[in-house]
Structure 1
Amino acid sequence: MKKLKVKIVFLMTLSFLFSGYAQEAQFVSGKKILFEDNFSNDVVGDFPVNWFTNSSGEIANINSNKWLQLSDKGSFLPLNISKLPENFTFEFDVATTPNFNFYSTPLNIVFTEKTTKTDNVWNTVFKRKEAVIFNVHPASTSMATTGSTSISIINEKKEILKNKVIVSNFNKNNSTVHVQVWRQKNRFRMFVDGKKFWDLPTAFQEANYNQIIFFIGTYKNTTDKFFISNLKLAEAGGDTRHKLIETGTFTTNEILFDTKKSTIKPSSKMVLDELGKVLSENQNVKISITGHTDSDGNDTENQKLSEQRAQSVSNYFTTNFGIKKIRITTSGKGESDPISDNDSEEGKKQNRRVEFNIIK
Structure 2
Amino acid sequence: MKSFSIFNFHNFDNLAIFIETLPASIAISRDLVGLENESLQSGIRNIDGFNYNEHENIQVENEHIQYIFFEGFTERARKPEYWYIENDRLKDREERINPIQTNFVVFSHDNNIFAIVFAGINRGKALIKDIFPAETWGNVEPVIPHLNEDLLYWIFKRHIDLPDESLSREHQVFVTALESYMGKTRDNVNALRGEGSRISTILGTLAFLFNNENLKAVRPQIQYGNESVLIELSLTGTFKFWVNAYRGIWTRNLTGDRKQNAVAIYIFVKIIPLLIECYNENLRNNEWSPQLKVDFLRRLGTMIRDRVNTELARIEGHTLKQLNAAEDAFDDIIPEEEDELEIDDPEEEDI
| TM interval, short-chain normalised | under 0.3
Higher-helix-fraction structure = 2
Which of these two proteins has the greater Rg computed from alpha carbons?
A: 2
TM-score, normalisation: structure 2: 0.25
| Greater relative CO (CA pairs within 8 A, separation 6+) | 1
Greater strand share, structure number: 1
